[in-house]
Structure 1
Amino acid sequence: MSDFSLEMTARDVPHLEEARNVIPRRTRINVTFLEHETLELRLGAARRVRELGFVPVPHISARRLESRARLEEFLAALAADGAAERVFVVGGDPVVPHGPFASALSLIESGALPEYGVWHVSVAGYPEGHPDIDDAELWRALEAKATELARHDLAGDVITQFGFDVDAVIGWIEQVRERGIGLPIRVGVAGPAGIRRLVRYASRFGIGTSAGIARKYGFSLTNLMGTAGPDRFLHEFAARYRPEVHGEVRLHFYTFGGLRATSEWLTDFTEGVRR
């Protein structure tokens, strides 16, 4: 539970300010790159994360960038605010790239990141697969990104999509290590949220079925108005985690807009484990 990271959107700044006293200082906070959010909004969010004493990790969506100049504009502005050291790069949702970058790999290959002070790059991992990309291609991409980060002398890690199946996550991590990828891994975890919202997000990202999610998380689909937390997932994962096999692993919490609720839940959960 030490050194966990959180995720927010650029519009969640008021929620971050509300939760600031229950989040440990220097916590890594990822700021997503959503299509409807302006460059100024994204930059302002990353700046505010840093001002509040946390570590900003701005997302860069490769296929949403219209040009290399647009990428460099974003990176230069982040650097001016002292928020460019860590970034998360992902291909993004558009099927057809808006500009020259067809993938996160092509963005890393461009060499632009270290030119603006980036030294740590997070990339995506998909333990339960991706609805639009086959597993073989996902593995080729992850191996290539790890190689390219090393070629550019960039530190990095893998942040996974949130999931509900410990078997899938453990098995995927073991495959990562068997393939010789030594990057630290941050396992994506859905923070406490309404059951209806959890099911909706899981369906959107192709992560299991509603019945499967309910079985793994221990809630009933007959009570969609209730809430659920990742207690069972985390206890089972901790029981099966072996550092000598799985390497360095941390947790990354998807807050679904509930930064304070997730942070308070984390505090209570950690204290309960220590007792």
Structure 2
Amino acid sequence: MESGPKTTPRADMHRAALQIATFLVAACASAAGAAGTNACENPVYLTLDTGHMEVAPMMAEVLKRQQVRVTFFVANERTKVADGSLGNAWGSWWRSVAADGHEFASHTYDHVVWRGDLPGVKPSFRMQPTAGALEGREFTWDAAKYCEQIERAARRIEDFTGKKSLPLFRAPSGKTSPRLLAVAESCGYAHVGWAPAGFLGDELPSEKYSNEMLLQKALRDIRKGDILMAHLGIWSRKDPWAPAVLEPLIVGLKAKGFCFDTLRNHPAYKDWIAAHGG
């Protein structure tokens, strides 16, 4: 009694080849899934503060070409073109970079620099806007006024992009005090500085710090987990850092085994972001 259809050597070989191919496809899929899970094993976190914006479109092109996502810290700074970095003329550009998957956080609306704490039970501070109608003047602000400045920039970028800003902020010039940071946290914003090696030097005078010098220093010193900081244009630097250094820096860091991620996934901030609706 026959138990089934007879097979030929050719059919057996075909069946074996099909089984091997199926195994290889499954193995490749598994490897791809693992690679996707561990896609950024050696992350660095590039952040870009607003500036005069002249180089911003070219910088966005570099980021898109290199498939790098960054976190923008936004303020309504004076620009070389149009009506301020958070002015209506830049709205379509902000929408386009949001569509590319970048993240956003506040840099205070009027790019307000902390000048000092004032005595008293209730927190108050000496503050100096460096943009807007009150540029250059010094004021005394209470906690509510400072929180309003942080939130105003966050709301403005959300209006442009339709994307919720991260509950993070960066104080202009990086100047803070424990009391100022406590006020910001009370209204839902954690402060983000940068790593020592992550200061990319685009604010420094090009007469003393050439682009090549800054590039080589960054490639030498940056380490896994570092937050990097540069700007969308610096007024004072004669030989602009951006976009000249940006792409060689990205390519060089990739060649050293680094990858790029946004602050949404930074281990120091991801729980804060999740807890504060980011």
TM-score if structure 1 supplies the norm length?
0.38
For the pair shown, the structure with the greater C-alpha radius of gyration is 2
TM-score if structure 2 supplies the norm length?
0.37
Decide which structure has greater helix share. Answer: 1
RCO greater where, 1 or 2, for CA within 8 Å and sep 6 or more? Answer: 2
